[in-house]
């Protein structure tokens, strides 16, 4: 099948590459000339494990191509997938200007029947706006052409997007047009040979499903983080509680780790947008507002612990492990590390940070500054530091050489925002250990 992807960001590029890998002929459109030039040279603008291999394979096979020409893109695929950004407005609502601009281009140039797919995460009712924008462009042309608008939200996890795209746990289609449904089912058939994964529903239901999924996961995270404040107050280990509730199959093990809060390009933005949508429809989501408040507060928890321990952080050098909002990505959007570093700087501390992938992104965000050192290794970061703060749970941090940390660090104190270690083990090395929702260990 011929598929046009509008937008070569995270969702668009991953989706386009995976569709091409299944034998489809895919053309990706973007207005960023530099990005298209780099993609044609095989340079991938985002970090996603395995994506470079899939893109290169399909470009070489002639199944994946890139263009700056909106007319060429609209004429190419019967399926037109819109996968552009929906950044938050000042009031937290999703900004649809890129989505609607893409829709207008499709209406302006489409030569025949098109299935227009909203792949971007969009508020309830966006499909109606896309439909209206295309209809207006067709009317301006005097063209009597049929089209259908489908909501097909993505459920990709950064760091595991190729696997999620190739082996989806569900394929949500918000569609009421029989021909469009048949085309979408044909497109996704190779992805579900094992068993049927397609869920067909109304367009608005599909739009809401994406937001609801992310909001539910964010709620679980904030619940555990809020609970961790209580466990600290009563002297209980949150890990014991996690084991106790996670073993209940009605609850399960996913997204019940206490930590420094959620970040990234999805959860913060989608929670805010859903709150705003609910207010627009005069059905406020009170629980979700609390989820956001807890998360914002939790991002400051490690610095509060450090202040309580040291009294003042002025002039102190703090080692920080982990800059990305989660492992296997270089994405620092809304990352807890940013709140931690900016709070430390405001207190007069300097930061020596290490991340296996996100150092360049950190440099892009903050530039060169005297109170930020980007270390080449975890142990280089801790050398001479007054404390080690752990923000991202990269695998290489899970079993560190505590004896070498003790030998290099000036003040043997760890503030662990991901509860990576057994407090008793860390204490055996003579290191004071502060974590989330657990008693402090190793204090003199």
Q: Return the active site residues.
A: 266
- Those residues whose C-beta lies under 8 Å from the C-beta of residue 75, and which sit 6 or more positions away, are 109, 110, 111
Half-sphere exposure of 268 (CA within 13 A, CB side): 19
Burial class (CB in 10 A: 0-12, 13-18, 19+), 196: exposed
Burial of residue 369 (CB within 10 Å: 0-12, 13-18, 19+) is exposed
Write the DSSP string, 128-153.
Answer: HHHHHHHHHHHHHHT----EEEEE--
For residue 17, which phi and psi values (nearest 5 degrees)? -65, -40
Q: Distance (Å, rounded) from C-alpha 381 to C-alpha 378? A: 5
CB 416 within 8 A of CB 239: no
Distance CA 263, CA 241 (A): 24
End-to-end Cα spacing for the chain: 67
Neighbours of 154 (CB within 10 A): 21
Query: CA-to-CA distance for 224 and 230, rounded, in angstroms?
Result: 10
DSSP sequence for 252-299: -STT---SS---SSSHHHHHHHHHHHHHHTT---HHHHHHHHHHHHHT
């Amino acid at each position: 099948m011929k598929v046009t992807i509008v937008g070569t960001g995270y969702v668009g590029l991953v989706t386009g590459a995976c569709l091409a890998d299944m034998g489809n002929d895919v053309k990706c459109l973007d207005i960023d000339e530099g990005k298209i030039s780099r993609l044609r040279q095989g340079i991938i603008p985002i970090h996603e494990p395995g994506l470079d291999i899939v893109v290169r394979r399909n470009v070489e096979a002639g199944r994946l191509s890139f263009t700056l020409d909106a007319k060429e893109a609209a004429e190419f695929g019967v399926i037109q997938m819109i996968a552009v950004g929906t950044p938050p407005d000042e009031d937290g609502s999703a900004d649809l200007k890129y989505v609607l601009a893409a829709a207008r281009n499709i209406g302006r140039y489409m030569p025949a029947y098109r299935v227009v797919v909203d792949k971007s995460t969009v508020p309830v009712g966006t499909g109606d706006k896309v439909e209206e924008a295309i209809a207006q462009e067709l009317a301006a042309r005097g063209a009597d052409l049929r089209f259908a608008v489908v909501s097909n939200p993505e459920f990709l996890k950064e760091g595991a997007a190729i696997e999620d795209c190739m082996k989806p746990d569900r394929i949500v289609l918000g569609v009421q047009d029989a021909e469009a449904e048949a085309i979408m089912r044909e497109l996704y058939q190779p992805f579900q040979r094992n068993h049927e994964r397609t869920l067909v529903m109304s367009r608005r239901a599909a739009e809401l499903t994406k937001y609801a999924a992310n909001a539910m996961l964010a709620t679980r995270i904030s619940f555990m983080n809020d609970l961790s404040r209580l466990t600290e107050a009563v002297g209980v280990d949150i890990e014991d509680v996690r084991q106790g509730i996670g073993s209940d199959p009605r609850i399960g093990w996913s997204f019940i780790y206490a930590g420094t809060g959620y970040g990234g390009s999805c959860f913060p933005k989608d929670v805010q947008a859903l709150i705003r949508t609910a207010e627009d429809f005069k059905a406020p989501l009170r629980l979700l507002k609390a989820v956001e408040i807890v998360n914002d507060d939790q991002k400051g928890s490690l610095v509060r612990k450090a202040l309580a321990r040291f009294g003042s952080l002025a002039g102190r050098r703090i080692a920080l492990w982990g800059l990305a909002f989660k492992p296997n990505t270089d994405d620092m959007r809304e990352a807890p590390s940013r709140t931690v570093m900016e709070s430390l700087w405001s207190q007069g501390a300097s930061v020596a940070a290490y991340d296996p992938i996100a150092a360049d992104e950190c440099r892009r965000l903050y530039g060169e500054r005297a109170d930020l050192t980007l270390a080449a290794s975890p142990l280089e970061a801790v050398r001479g530091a007054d404390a080690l703060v752990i923000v991202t749970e990269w695998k290489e941090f899970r079993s560190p050489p505590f004896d070498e940390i003790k030998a290099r660090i000036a003040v043997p104190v760890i503030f662990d925002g991901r509860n990576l270690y057994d407090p008793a083990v860390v204490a055996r090395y003579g290191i004071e250990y502060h974590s989330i929702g657990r008693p402090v260990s190793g204090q003199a």
